[in-house]
């Protein structure tokens, strides 16, 4: 599918109301110059089972294009993403206007004159930290949320390559939008742009560490352990400089806290959970140490 045609399909799907529109109304609302492009896009949406044409005897156009149940799901997804973007804009604007680092030094009387309550003034440090942590949570997890919904919709689509292509376009465009949002909001704030990559990298390292420290999971099997190490190290290498900075202090402390001497723990004489946990600690230490030594 050509990018231009997919773009028009997404545009039509966004503007199409549940009760449908006739073709001329669709053409007008797209604002496009060439009717043939809209014809092709409508046909593609029909083939992708995202809209359906129905005959209406009471309407002079006789035929109305409606979103199908799958089309409605696509619309709901796009609407929810847009709602998030609007809410995120409001959150960020409020954060920037009210919770800059200068509030920590402001005279309480100045804050009260701006409408802050006594309790809000007393808890301003905690609120300052809280809004920045929440920002980090939002910026990380919007990507997870998009991919989660993408996967669910893909499962519902089934054998429908046209719908898959259109959904992929919707999600990929939104991922790009989120990256630009980060740039737009944080580029002027140098201290945030310097800490943001480390925050994101820390989330990756933490999740990998939690996995290997959990006694319920085990990857020390010769059919998979090499592949697991390779893919984890490849993932870590994308934000390489930030991960290495994080691991610089972690590796020595891991060695001390786990009492590791770079020797594999025994396979026997331990309960299953302890064996898995000890081997997991050792494997995690080896991955982190090997990664840190990469040039």
Read off the pLDDT of residues 124-149 as tens digits, 9 standing for 90 and up: 888 888 888 888 888 878 888 899 89
86 or 60: which carries more pLDDT confidence? 86
13 or 286: which carries more pLDDT confidence? 13
User: Is 12's pLDDT higher than 90?
Assistant: yes
Query: Which of 188, 220, 246 corresponds to the end of one domain?
Result: 188
At 270, is the pLDDT very low, low, confident or very high (cuts 50, 70, 90)?
low
Same domain, 203 and 168: no
Residue 261: per-residue pLDDT: 44
Same domain, 160 and 242: no
Residue 170 · residue 10 · CB < 8 Å: yes
Query: Which of 188, 203, 237 corresponds to the end of one domain?
Result: 188
User: Is 262's pLDDT higher than 50?
Assistant: no
The position carrying tokens 């231009």 is: 4
Same domain, 76 and 138: yes
Q: What is d(CA 289, CA 262) in angstroms, rounded to the nearest whole number?
A: 10
**Span between the terminal Cα atoms of the chain, in Å:** 42
All residues at 6 or more sequence positions from 55 whose CB lies less than 8 Å from its CB, including other chains: 62, 63, 64
User: Is 48's pLDDT higher than 90?
Assistant: yes
> DSSP for 57-119?
TTSTT-EEEEE-HHHHHHHHHHHHHHHHHHHHHHHHHHHHHH-SGGGGTS-HHHHHHTT--HH
Mean pLDDT score, 62-80: 92
Q: How far is CA 29 from CA 75, 76, 170, in A?
A: 16, 20, 19
Residue 13: per-residue pLDDT: 93
Same domain, 62 and 127: no
At 8, is the pLDDT very low, low, confident or very high (cuts 50, 70, 90)?
very high
At 66, is the pLDDT very low, low, confident or very high (cuts 50, 70, 90)?
very high
Same domain, 229 and 211: yes
CATH of the domain at 28: 1.10.10.10
Residue 70: per-residue pLDDT: 95
All residues at 6 or more sequence positions from 223 whose CB lies less than 8 Å from its CB, including other chains: none
The position carrying tokens 């701006």 is: 114
How many domains, the chain?
3
**Distance, CA of 151 to chain centre:** 13
Same domain, 135 and 40: no
Same domain, 78 and 54: no
Tell me what the pLDDT averaged over the chain comes to: 82
Mean pLDDT score, 10-35: 88
22 or 203: which carries more pLDDT confidence? 22
In this structure, what DSSP letter does residue 21 have? B
Residue 196: per-residue pLDDT: 62
Same domain, 211 and 134: no
Q: What is d(CA 247, CA 257) in angstroms, rounded to the nearest whole number?
A: 15
Give φ, ψ of 64 to 5 degrees. -125, 140
Mean pLDDT score, 228-233: 85
Q: Report helix, strand or coil for 266.
A: coil
Same domain, 78 and 95: yes
Q: How far is CA 23 from CA 33, 35, 55, 66, 69, in A?
A: 14, 10, 12, 11, 20
Residue 80: per-residue pLDDT: 93
Q: What is d(CA 145, CA 123) in angstroms, rounded to the nearest whole number?
A: 31
Q: What is d(CA 1, CA 202) in angstroms, rounded to the nearest whole number?
A: 38
Mean pLDDT score, 61-87: 90
Same domain, 172 and 74: yes
Q: What is d(CA 250, CA 233) in angstroms, rounded to the nearest whole number?
A: 16
Residue 288: per-residue pLDDT: 85
Query: Which of 132, 167, 188 corresponds to the end of one domain?
Result: 188
Residue 255: per-residue pLDDT: 66
Q: What is d(CA 54, CA 145) in angstroms, rounded to the nearest whole number?
A: 35
Residue 208: per-residue pLDDT: 87
Same domain, 60 and 46: yes
Residue 43: per-residue pLDDT: 94
Helical residues (DSSP H) of the chain, grouped into ranges: 3-15, 23-30, 35-47, 69-98, 108-113, 118-122, 124-157, 161-186, 190-213, 225-237, 240-257, 272-293
Same domain, 86 and 53: no
Q: Which domain holds residue 212?
A: 194-293
């Amino acid at each position: 599918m050509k990018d231009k045609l997919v773009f028009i399909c997404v545009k039509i799907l966004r503007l199409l109301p549940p009760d449908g529109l006739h073709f001329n109304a669709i053409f007008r609302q797209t604002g496009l110059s060439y009717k043939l492009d809209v014809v092709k896009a409508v046909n593609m949406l029909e083939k992708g089972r995202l809209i359906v044409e129905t005959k209406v005897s009471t309407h002079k156009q006789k035929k109305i294009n409606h979103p199908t149940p799958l089309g409605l799901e696509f619309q709901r997804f796009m609407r929810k993403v847009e709602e998030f973007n609007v809410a995120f804009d409001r959150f960020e604007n409020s954060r920037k206007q009210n919770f800059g680092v200068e509030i920590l030094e402001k005279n309480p009387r100045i804050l009260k004159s701006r409408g802050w309550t006594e309790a809000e003034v007393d808890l301003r440090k905690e609120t300052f930290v809280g809004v920045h942590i929440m920002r980090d949570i939002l910026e990380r997890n919007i990507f997870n949320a998009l991919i989660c919904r993408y996967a669910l919709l893909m499962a519902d689509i089934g054998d429908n390559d046209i719908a898959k292509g259109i959904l992929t376009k919707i999600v990929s465009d939104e991922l790009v939008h989120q990256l630009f949002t980060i740039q737009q909001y944080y580029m002027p704030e140098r201290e945030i742009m310097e800490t943001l990559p480390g925050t994101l990298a820390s989330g990756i390292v933490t999740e990998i560490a939690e996995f290997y420290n959990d006694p319920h999971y085990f990857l020390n099997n010769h059919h998979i352990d090499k592949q697991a190490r390779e893919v984890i190290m490849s993932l870590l290498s994308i934000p390489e400089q930030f991960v290495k900075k994080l691991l610089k202090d972690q590796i020595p402390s891991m060695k001390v806290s786990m009492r590791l001497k770079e020797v594999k723990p025994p396979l026997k004489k331990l309960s299953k959970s302890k064996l898995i946990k000890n081997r997991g600690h050792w494997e995690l230490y080896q991955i982190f140490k090997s990664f840190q030594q990469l040039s």
